[in-house]
Structure 1
Amino acid sequence: MSVKHPKVAVLLAAFNGMQWIKEQLDSILNQAAVDVTVFISIDPSVDGTELWCADYAVHHPSVVVLPPAGSFGGASRNFFRLLRDVNFDGYDLVAFADQDDVWHPLKLKRAGEVLTSQAADGYSSNVTAFWDDGRTHLIDKAQPQVAWDFLFEAAGPGCTYVLGKALATKLKLSVAAQWVELQDVSLHDWYCYAFARSNGLKWIIDPVPTMQYRQHQSNQVGANIGVGSLLMRYKTIHDGWWFSQVQLIAVLVGKQRHPFVQRWLLLGRKQLILLSFSAWACRRRFRDKVFFFLICWATAIVGKKTK
């Protein structure tokens, strides 16, 4: 008697991915105890990614390349396109994939089991960052969730996300309904986590790493390690990008009228100081809570760059 495996729709956003995409696709198609279909959306590339993926799909029936849809200009818009255009009927789970990582063989099986055993709607996990020179580093995002972390950070790398059918369906509807506004969201994984939590859905962040997270110069968002990364984070905050994303996501997930959010949403000097005293409820990791407190005060005193 055959065992029924969960059917998983894997959404892969590609752009100039020839250097890594074969290894990634092979690792996805070699997932154990699940039936996988990979849907690839390609941002117009100059390295032959489109032709290579088309040929790969011919020889692998479980790979579907979506028709061209113009230039996205970033992974976030590409993933929103995948969420909008891929039909999830007949699938039990929906997963996100980057083009340059390597998945552990049991990644999707484990995610499905965790979602089922914990009656959860969304899943993400820790990852092992790796570099071409052989270095590795555990990226730990599995600190306990707090009341408002979803408005200020993602649930770890989006390439680890696995969504239950109910969450994926609701998310698809929200993407279609807010398509224009979502074009200004820079990080799809942050929005997806915020959408789930703001709708009262259960999310699990698994402490077990389920994939190798490749680090290279083309990463849109890489491993948050070291002083250089801290300085880069400060720059995005000082430039106004991070706080503008916080405001946008709070509005898009319908939390702008919540009393807690109303106290700081304008992000003026007084609001930032008030927000700083809620740092414990806004970030998961202790180091990030301290940084959050300090950056609220620094921004209140120094201000943000004006555009």
Structure 2
Amino acid sequence: MSPNFLVLLAAYNGMKWISDQVHSILNQNGVSVTLIISIDSSNDGTEEWALALSERNPKVLVLETGKKFGGAAPNFFRLINEASLKEFDYFSFADQDDIWLPNKLIEAVETISSAGAQGYSSNVTAFWPDGKEKLIVKSQPQVQFDHLFEAAGPGCTYVFSKELFRDLQQHISNQFSEVQNVTLHDWYCYAFSRTHGYKWVIDSRSHMLYRQHSNNQVGVNTGLKAFKARLSQVFNGWWLNQAALISRLVGVENTPFVQRWISLRRVALIRLAFSGYKCRRRVRDKIVFSVLCVILAVLRHKK
């Protein structure tokens, strides 16, 4: 029997792309797919299009429309909270503007099975309107605490076993108001999975085209402009404050490692700098992580 998937798609003003994406999801090889869509209140016809599709296709479900979320994370948290569990074997996230290759989901199932894992993500192939393509590598070896400081790759590659998704859903339901303060749902779901003893595998292959355009909420972090934006998130406190919030919400606030840095005071930041090698996966990111922690500590000392 084919694995039964529930794909959770968050949409907002997506009429330019959503038809191609939904087609690529519903036409996956080797699996049975039901698609559930949550739409952040839109003004370009996305809601009407999705509702019309759901009337024609019983495999497409649309949650109550007219709600305003203001970002992808609260939209996905809503999808997780309201998803049905009963008839599904696996659960997957989807963005509105990508294109999935035909074997994306069945390859994820096979990788999960061979690795003995419960969570899955993969590399992606970014593509731009001018035809440029670039493999985005997120499959560097996982380290002890990377989940507290970064996602496992783009959330649109995530696949969860039923056991893991049930646990994640219950956790989010129990603190639904608190998780609304989390900016990146994919980082949070990866952190929850790893801190709760679930094995996660990151596939080195790409099974989807990751569309890049001016309306991406979170896109490929390449180039000087993206680097400056990431630096801004570090120096305005967003990044480490999110790491601290996520650590608290997933229940590891009182572990020895987190206690060493969660105050984010000067000495705590110096301690964290010496742990950079076990906080990020990519070698360059390990170095940058440690350097930025030292800089933040110096700046805090001067205040």
TM-score normalized by the length of structure 1:
0.97
Deviation at 1:299?
1.0
What amino acid does structure 2 have at the position aligned with 1:302?
L
Alignment of 1:199-218 (within 5 A): 199-218=196-215
Off by >4 Å, runs of 4+ in structure 1: none
Please name the residue that 2:151 is paired with.
Answer: 154
**Conservation of the 8 A alpha-carbon contact between 1:238 and 1:303:** no
Alignment of 1:255-266 (within 5 A): 255-266=252-263
Alignment of 1:31-70 (within 5 A): 31-68=28-65, 70=67
**Conservation of the 8 A alpha-carbon contact between 1:103 and 1:212:** yes
**Conservation of the 8 A alpha-carbon contact between 2:39 and 2:67:** no
Please name the residue that 2:139 is paired with.
Answer: 142
What amino acid does structure 1 have at the position aligned with 2:91?
V
Deviations 1:49-80 (A, max 9, x none): 10011111222221111112621111000000
**Conservation of the 8 A alpha-carbon contact between 1:10 and 1:39:** yes
Distance 2:28 2:241 in 1: 38
State which of 86, 90, 93 in structure 1 corresponds to 2:90. Answer: 93
SS of equivalent residue, structure 1 residue 22: helix
Deviations 1:148-172 (A, max 9, x none): 0000000000000000000000000
**Conservation of the 8 A alpha-carbon contact between 1:197 and 1:203:** yes
Deviations 1:244-289 (A, max 9, x none): 1001000011111111110110011110011000000000000100
**Conservation of the 8 A alpha-carbon contact between 1:126 and 1:208:** yes
Please name the residue that 1:176 is paired with.
Answer: 173
Stretches of structure 1 lacking an aligned partner (at least 5 in a row): none
SS of equivalent residue, structure 2 residue 150: coil
Deviation at 1:217?
1.0
**Conservation of the 8 A alpha-carbon contact between 1:125 and 1:156:** yes
Q: How many residues align?
A: 302
Deviation at 1:119?
1.2
Alignment of 1:120-135 (within 5 A): 120-135=117-132
What amino acid does structure 1 have at the position aligned with 2:215?
S
The alignment's C-alpha RMSD in Å is: 1.2
What amino acid does structure 2 have at the position aligned with 1:213?
Y
Deviations 1:151-207 (A, max 9, x none): 000000000000000000000000101101100000000000000000111000000
Please name the residue that 1:272 is paired with.
Answer: 269
What amino acid does structure 2 have at the position aligned with 1:234?
L
What amino acid does structure 1 have at the position aligned with 2:170?
L
Stretches of structure 2 lacking an aligned partner (at least 5 in a row): none
Deviation at 1:87?
0.7
**Conservation of the 8 A alpha-carbon contact between 1:76 and 1:185:** yes
SS of equivalent residue, structure 2 residue 35: strand
Deviations 1:21-54 (A, max 9, x none): 0000000011000000000000100111100111
Please name the residue that 2:239 is paired with.
Answer: 242
SS of equivalent residue, structure 1 residue 236: helix
What amino acid does structure 1 have at the position aligned with 2:148?
L
Matched, 1:219 2:246: no
